[in-house]
Structure 1
Amino acid sequence: MVGRSYHKDMSYEHIIDRLVNLPTYFSDPVRVESVRPVGDHYKLRIRKSDGYLDEIVLTSREIQELKVVSEESNRPVDAELLSLLVESHRIRYAFSYDPYFAVSLSGIRTLPHQIEAVYEKMLPQPRLRFLLADDPGAGKTIMAGLLVKEMKLRYAIEKILILVPAALTIQWQDELLRFFNEFFMIVGSELDRQQAISIWQKENQIITSLDYAKQEDVRERVWLQKWDMVIIDEAHKCSAYTRRRSNRSPEAEKTKRYILAEQLALSPNHLLLLTATPHHGDDDRFSHFLRLIDPDLFPEPHKFQEESSAVRKFVFQDKDNPWILRRLKENLCDINGKRLFTERHSVTVPFKLSIEEYELYEAVTNYLNRFLVIKGTGKERQSIALTRTVFQRRLASSTFAIFETLKRRLQKQKEMLDELESLSPADRRKRLERMRGKLVDEELDEGDLDEQEEDRLLDEFTTSLEIDQLKEEISNLKDLVEQAKRIYEQSSDTKLKALEDCLKRAEFSELRDGRGKLLLFTEHRDTLTHIKNQIEKWQYLTCEIHGAMDIHQRKRAQEDFRTTSQICVATEAAGEGINLQFCHLIINYDIPWNPTRLEQRLGRIHRIGQTRDVYAFNFVADEAINGKPIVEGKVLRTLLDKLERMRAVLGKDRVYDVIGEILALNKVDLAEILRDAAYNPHRLEEYLDKIEGIDPDKLRQYEELTGIALAKAYVDFPSLQRSNYLAEEKRLMPEYVEKFFLSAAREVGLKIEKRADGLYRLPYIPSAFRSEQLAAVKKFGKPLDEYRKITFHKEDLERDIHIDAVLLSPGHSLYAVVDEKLFDKLKGFNGRWSAFLDVDAQEPYWLHFLELGIVGEPHNTLIYKELVALKENAKGELSMVPPDLLHDVSPNPQPFDQLPEFDIDKAKDFLMAGYQLQKRQEMLKERQERARVIQEYLEKSFDARIYTLQKRIMEVKARLALGEDVSIPSNLEKELEDLGRTKTEKLKDIAGFSIVRSGPISHIASFFVLPPGELSRFSEFIEFEEEKQKSEKAAMEIVIGYESNRGWEPEDVSPYKLGFDIRSLSPADSATGYRGVKRIEVKGRRRGQPIRLTINEWLKARQLKDTYWLYVVWNPTESDYQMVTIQNPAYQLEYAAKEIKPVSHYEIPAREIEKIGVR
């Protein structure tokens, strides 16, 4: 049966090439490009507001009910609002011309190695799988934050997971918020279990600890999410190793941390691993660790040991490999080639225990050797070892610390005894077993426990199996508590006396007269309280930082230390995440058993920004006054002395950066030695000899053997300096951001007040600006209820009085919300035009603003977007110009009655056939090269494994041919088949990176720009074009000649409209290769004429400061010309510059040029 057709009676021509509303299909009006009957229905090809094409099928009734949207594109709209719309687009896609966009928007001063890592190594990769393995202190957190910010601004990522050690969660949250305005939710057990809806699903930006997320009931929820980016700090903690057993094939033994990371690494588009110690001296673990980057690239070491080593070396020897970057601290320099780190000096301060202190040391050691004997395996052994370690360290810390520890332990054990005595014998045994069951995670070491966890371990853990054993321990504890109390209250504290004597050394002279600063580390809160009280009795001003303080309290203490206090007494809470480079003296009152902690502590003051040599004083007691040895002290002093001697081999500072690896390579487990030496003091000499025998050259040998030495990279300073010049010149200027935000906020009804100090406040943010329905809130988070102090200039954040200011920029949630609100309000302005004025124009012209995109796979993924500007002259000729030319024109002040016509399709075709095609070719070439490199490495890795499997199978077949009773293992043939299939799929996946095509082009707005003409109010600003061109050309030639004669290299950059005319580079410095730069704005005028700079030129002068020069050539076309130069004219001439708003210029009288200028 044939259905009835209405096509012959239906008219649809009236909707073709018109905007229509389709509310149940699209939220915004769409343009109908064609209509085609399909049976009883109609297929419409439509173009959406973002430029993308789509097809839908409508019924006849729907066609009849279509409403055409009234288009008034031939009528002008409000010029200021249209300009605001264009500026919104220009700033949103500023990354297309500001190569370091996130740097411009963040409260940081980046360094060359950070720029190289983010913008040259990581950001260009279509799918990032990267290990950043720089030395400590290089700023890996900053680089990760910069990468996150940049990728978010480019709409490349949204859902981000950061895994870190528990002690670093707050530091990461604080730095990402403080420097990048990025809020990440810290998720732990309490917050996770409170939620009805999975918080992993609800939140887009999460920080959590490795050891929380690895738990089996947690990791499943983490794995369920589709993360766009996963970052793992201290990633070497995710370890696996090869277990070899007789009569069985080797297997990979994976920790829970590794299993968590391995599964997470499979799903996200982008993975970043951070560590300063990638190998820890263990080749097998290192090989497994690298598989987290890409398991298809790095072979399984338990199956392909030789191939794993060969592939690793092959990858590492290429400095441009896309997987790993490692730079050493001694090679890091600033943009001028100056080393970033000052010298550091280490001094051992030995002291001797009194007879009474030694007797207490001996008694506590006997207690440990009786009641906490290391035995068992796994969790039980680790729990006993950690409990002993905490006791021994507190014993070495101070008499007060061990007294308080023993007292708390006694109280808890007595409470446990009371509880047990109320139970039946059977229940007692069960209760004791439960207490023994409170074991620590066997993957933890002593450095992973905070002081609260240490206290819990000391208070609750027991090795007692019977109630009589517990009673015996309590009796011993009572005696120890009495002994410790007597010594604390009645005997002199030899360690405190050593501290008092140390503060009299010459290095502390500034501290004594009130000018200096000292950071003093202890491992325990009790000791902190004890010595802080004593130091204050010595008339020093003190502050404290410890683990019980929240982030706000720590910040206040840090500020107190910087401004007021002389000595900051701190526990390990200040060992990570706090920057104190205004201090250059440190005392390690307690020596940590993990020597890497020494480097972490020193890193608080010996870091980028430190201007003085750093001195560290290490306190250690290695014997009593009667000559009896303190075994732990003997071991630690021997190690400290050995470290100082090793500096000659490894370099002055590097020994501290790699001490963990050196000990591992020499098979020295310091914590185990210290524990066993206390239990078996007769082995002390054996252990001291082992430490003396540490060979630092093993590190070099190992790094050469494994290939990690090949991965060391050096910053290309000449290339980076040039990139830095160009980036500075193209940087999004904060003045434009400020002007836009203030105007946009006014348009959307957000109240802003200017403060007396020049900054701004927003006393109230309405709920409509904080709605979770807003796309900006979903992406950047919810704005606060109020902002008491905001700025648009990162320099303000460096001033003490503005340390509490918030930097407002396009990456900030409030900025994004205001921009979204404005965009919604002005969406009717899209594709419209208005009239503007250009005082320098000689004839009318059009400025067309369009957005173009480049897309790839899968699903038309947007990989690039840019706002471009086209200038169409009176003849209809088109040319590209910088979009920021919109700031050099001003709204036409008079009514404009004409209705000029423009052909936007002509502009789109011009852009499509020219610049967009060129941009597509550039991106295609870059992505093809990156895909080629990855494919080349992958093919070599796959081929090596395939060859090995084929060889193993052939060997078995050869034995079969000789008549041996063997068979080919089925798993070998299956593994070979799977490997071949994986290779094909992986290479096909990588080839997808090379799919790049032109995306849509959208018309944003057009400016019809008029010359001043006969408007009398602008006549004084009109210059005769012919005379002006001659003067400018002559002046340019004079300035270029002048610069060349001085040995500089001038380059005419005036065609690029950068805000200046000439870039001039100095000769290279012979030592560093650094080249100075001058950006020169040239003005050729008749003597006595005022000098005018466009708004763009004036703001560029403000931005570039001392590198911006104004060269004025008087009478340049005459033989008696004169030239005057002014460095930093925005600063030197600010008092004289007058803004002429109608024509968007700043004007400076000639007499002021003569007064300030240098001839």
Structure 2
Amino acid sequence: MFIDIQFDEDWKQDFQHRLHQEGPWASFELYQLAYQAACEQLVPSFTGLKAPEHLYHIQPYDYQLETARRVVEEMNGKAILADEVGLGKTIEAGLILKEYMIRGLVKKALILAPASLVNQWSRELNQTFSIPAVVQRKAPVWEHADVAIASLDTAKRPPHNEIIQSIDYDCLIIDEAHKLKNDQTKNAAFVRSLQKKFCLLLTATPVQNRIEELYHLITILKPGWLGTKADFKKRYESGGDVQRLIHQVMIRNRRDETPVNWTKRNVINQTVTLSEEEEHLYESLCTLAEHAALPGFSRTLLKRELASSKEAAFLTLKEMDLPAEGLNAVFKKMQACSRNSKAEALLEFVQQEDEKVLVFTEYRATQLYLQWFLKQHGIPSVPYRGGFKRGKKDWMMQLFQGKVPVMIATEAGGEGLNLQFCHRLVNYDLPWNPMRLEQRIGRLHRHGQTKDVKVLNLAAEATIEADILARLQQKIGMFENVIGRIDAILGQSEDTKEQSYGR
């Protein structure tokens, strides 16, 4: 097969005419336009930000501009943006990305975020920053789109992972970067394998349970910056000045340090006294777990589930291979136990005001039980959990905002939701990780909140939940020693009694 190729020769006649006349060779008007365009694109100095001059849809706060300036001028584009929840880390990352694109230092960029935040990132970059970012849907866009957005789960799966790993990215942005805290996970290994010149890690909770988690995040940015993990941990434990090193790669803005007029955050810990039936049931479960020599993790799980609801513990017990006699005794006590004192405390809080309430539980069975329990008292509610598709999650959100007074969420509701229309929150179940409490409260206590936020932390007395409260206080102390002060996530107990620790 032959292809007939023809060349355009119309230019020859005009060119020969100009040769004969000795010009003119160009249009002075076009030259002036080209010169003006070059001047507009010229960045005369590396200091100072040019991006704000090109943004007409937003007026960033001074602390956001200062964060972007520090990352560009002092941190060489490698930083952890660790502002408290709701202060606009996405705006800061957008400013930094825009600045580098204007300066011609970034063309190819990749943004990895939780699936629930991918569309939000797309809207922010396209509408606010005029950055043509493309969301990865079905057909791979990695090689065609200069700025691509995807969930980490999508990016690490074949065939996407091989394509991404072959690309030299100028800038990598990872939202909710605390998910990389364990360096043994596939997520962390995948991110470390990516080729990147600049890198931004966004997380309000860079340390959650152990100081090593922060070491792993910083190592993604700057391998070797903190030495070996053992050296870093030893330096921290001996009282060495680790904050100075950390703050050279991390910026954390706090609410009380910004010019924004934030509403207050009122947090109360309420210790719930169990009924006699509930106490006997809890004791029976502890005895069964000990006699069956269950592993520590399984014992802890059962105790936490029963402190939440007997429904949650029942489902787990059914799947365990336990002595029939002891198991049947526990099931009989479950049938005889007609109360849930924590649910009653939740009901009392909900009925105090005719205002919306966001409730967090750790277990799906408890979520379903609480929906049923509240309905028995004439209070409708909607669930929110990770198994829902995007459309159903949006529908639950619309119902909660418009019609339904209570939303009961599992941990899937702790990230990515903007619920400024609600100002009351109940942590029905407490997590071991204090930063998950901060993430939950941050759904309400953020830009746009006009009322003081009320937070109620429930804990069943003389159960494992008393231990959880004590552990949370210890971990908050560790966080503040390394990162700095944190807003209130635990409050004073409503009881004046000395706290009793559970089995």
Post-superposition CA distance 1:568-596 (Å, at most 9, x none): 22222221111111221111222223222
Rounded Cα–Cα distance in structure 2 between residues aligned with 1:149 and 1:642: 40
SS of the equivalent of 2:200 reads strand
Partner of 1:205: 148
Which residue number in structure 2 is paired with residue 990 of structure 1? Answer: none
Q: CA deviation at 1:176?
A: 0.8
User: 1:114 maps to what in 2?
Assistant: 64
Check conservation: 2:304, 2:465, Cα contact below 8 A: no
Q: How does 1:555-574 map to 2 (within 5 A)?
A: 555-574=394-413
Alignment partner of 1:169 is 2:119: no
Quick one: which of 153, 158, 170 aligns to 1:228? Answer: 170
Contact 2:384 2:413 survives alignment (8 Å):
yes
Task: Choose which of 333, 337, 341 in structure 2 pairs with 1:494.
Answer: 341
Report the Cα distance in structure 1 between the residues aligned to 2:233 and 2:468, rounded to whole angstroms: 37
Deviations 1:640-693 (A, max 9, x none): 7999999xx99x982547x9xxxxxxxxxxxxxxxxxxxxxxxx98x78xxxxx
Structure 2 CA distance for aligned equivalents of residues 94 and 519 of structure 1:
50
Aligned CA distance change for structure 1 residues 219 and 368 (closer, same or farther; 3 Å): farther
| SS of corresponding position for 1:273 | strand
Q: Which whole-Å deviations, capped at 9, do the CAs of 1:792-836 have from their partners, x for residues lacking one?
A: xxxxxxxxxxxxxxxxxxxxxxxxxxxxxxxxxxxxxxxxxxxxx
**Paired position in structure 2 for 1:536:** 375
SS of corresponding position for 2:421 = coil
Post-superposition offset of 1:114: 1.9
Equivalent residue for 1:104, pick from 38, 43, 56: 56
Q: How does 1:52-91 map to 2 (within 5 A)?
A: none
Q: Deviations over 1:465-491 (max 9, x none)?
A: xxxxx5x5577656655553x246xx2
Q: State the TM-score, normalizing by the size of structure 2.
A: 0.72
Query: Residues 367 and 408 of structure 2 are in contact (CA less than 8 Å); yes or no, is this contact kept in structure 1?
Result: yes
Residue 126 (structure 1) shift: 11
Deviation at 1:93, TM superposition (A): 6.8
Q: How does 1:171-570 map to 2 (within 5 A)?
A: 171=117, 173-181=118-126, 185=135, 201=143, 205-209=148-152, 213=156, 222-235=164-177, 238=180, 258-264=188-194, 267-278=195-206, 286=214, 289-295=217-223, 299=227, 323-334=249-260, 339=261, 341-370=262-291, 373-374=294-295, 385=297, 387-407=298-318, 409=319, 470=321, 480-481=330-331, 483-484=333-334, 486-487=335-336, 491-504=338-351, 508-509=352-353, 511=354, 516-570=355-409
Give the whole-Å Cα distance in 2 for the aligned partners of 1:535 and 1:614. 22
TM-score by length of 1: 0.34
Is the contact between residue 344 and residue 653 of structure 1 (CA under 8 Å) also seen in structure 2? Answer: no
What SS class does the counterpart of residue 221 from structure 2 fall into? Answer: coil
Q: Displacement, 1:616?
A: 0.9
Quote the Cα distance in structure 2 between the aligned partners of 1:618 and 1:303.
37
- Give 1:521 shift: 1.9
For 1:600 and 1:497, the matched residues in 2 are separated by 25
Where 1:579 maps in the other structure, the secondary structure is coil
Change (3 A) 1:95 1:398: farther
How far apart are the structure 1 equivalents of 2:291 and 2:358?
38
Contact in 2 for aligned 1:357/1:487 (Cα 8 Å): no
Please give the per-residue CA displacement for 1:507-534, whole angstroms capped at 9, x wherever unaligned: x33x1xxxx2221222222222222233
User: Residues 107-146 of structure 1 correspond to what in structure 2 (within 5 A)?
Assistant: 110-118=60-68, 120-122=69-71, 128-146=77-95
Q: Distance in 1 between matches of 2:476 and 2:250?
A: 31
Paired amino acid for 1:614: V
Q: Name the SS for the 2:56 alignment partner.
A: helix
CA distance in 1, matches of 2:198, 2:438: 30
Paired residues of 1:541 and 1:564 also in contact (CA < 8 A): no
Deviations 1:556-614 (A, max 9, x none): 32233223222222222221111111221111222223222221111111112222221
Residue by residue, what CA displacement relative to the aligned partner does 1:28-76 show, whole Å, maximum 9, x if unpaired? Answer: xxxx99xxxxxxxxxxxxx9xxxxxxxxxxxxxxxxxxxxxxx9x79x9
Distance of 1:474 and 1:185 partners within structure 2: 53
* 8 Å contact kept, 1:598–1:656: no
Change (3 A) 1:396 1:121: same
- Residue 4 of structure 2 is matched in structure 1 by none
Q: Provide closer, same or farther for how the CA distance between residues 548 and 279 of structure 1 changes in structure 2, counting only shifts above 3 A.
A: closer
Residues 361 and 145 (structure 1), Cα distance of their counterparts in 2 relative to 1, 3 Å cut: farther
The change in CA–CA distance for 1:260 and 1:492 in structure 2 (over 3 A counts) is: closer
Task: Tell whether the 8 Å contact from 1:588 to 1:616 is kept in structure 2 after alignment.
Answer: yes
CA pair 360-212 structure 1, distance change in 2 beyond 3 A = farther
| Distance (Å, rounded) in 2 between the aligned partners of 1:633 and 1:353 | 12
- Give the aligned partner of residue 912 of structure 1: none
Q: How far apart are 1:370 and its partner, in Å?
A: 5.0
**Residues in 1 aligned to 2:407 and 2:209: alpha-carbon distance in whole angstroms:** 35
Q: Residue type matched to 1:358 in 2?
A: E
* Superimposed CA distance per residue, residues 1056-1092 of structure 1 (whole angstroms, 9 cap, x where no aligned partner): xxxxxxxxxxxxxxxxxxxxxxxxxxxxxxxxxxxxx
Once the 2 structures are TM-superposed, how far is the Cα of residue 327 of structure 1 from its aligned partner? 2.4
Counterparts of 1:93 and 1:497, CA distance in 2: 64
Within 1, Cα distance between the matches of 2:110 and 2:293?
40
Structure 2 residue 458 is matched with structure 1 residue 619: yes
1:230 alignment partner AA:
L
Query: Compared with structure 1, are the counterparts of its residues 301 and 110 closer, same or farther at alpha carbon in structure 2 (3 Å cutoff)?
Result: same
Distance 1:373 1:262 in 2: 37
Question: Counterparts of 2:470 and 2:287 in 1: how far apart (Å)?
Answer: 24
> Match of 1:398, as an amino acid?
S
1:208-244, Cα deviation, whole Å (9 max, x unpaired): 337983x99986654322222212334455458xxxx
Partners in 2 of 1:640 and 1:129 — Cα distance? Answer: 31
Aligned counterpart, 1:597: 436
Aligned to 1:453: none
2:465 to 610, 613, 633: 633
| Residue 331 of structure 1, CA deviation | 0.7
Matched residue of 2:169: which SS?
Answer: coil
Q: Secondary structure at the match of 1:549?
A: coil
Change over 3 Å in CA distance of 1:391–1:174 after alignment to 2: farther
Residue type of the partner of 1:209? L
Residue pair 2:430, 2:465 contacting (<8 A) in 1 also: no
Report 1:851-862 matches (<5 A). Answer: none
What SS does structure 1 have at the residue aligned with 2:457?
strand
The CA deviation at 1:280 is: 6.0
Distance 1:396 1:162, change over 3 A: farther
Q: CA offsets per residue over residues 852-887 of structure 1, 9 Å max, x none?
A: xxxxxxxxxxxxxxxxxxxxxxxxxxxxxxxxxxxx
Q: For the Cα contact (< 8 Å) 1:159–1:228, is it kept in 2?
A: yes
Q: Which has the higher contact order (CA 8 A, sep 6+)?
A: 2
Identity of paired residues, percent?
27
Q: Residues 304, 568 of structure 1: CA spacing in aligned structure 2 closer, same or farther, 3 A cutoff? A: closer
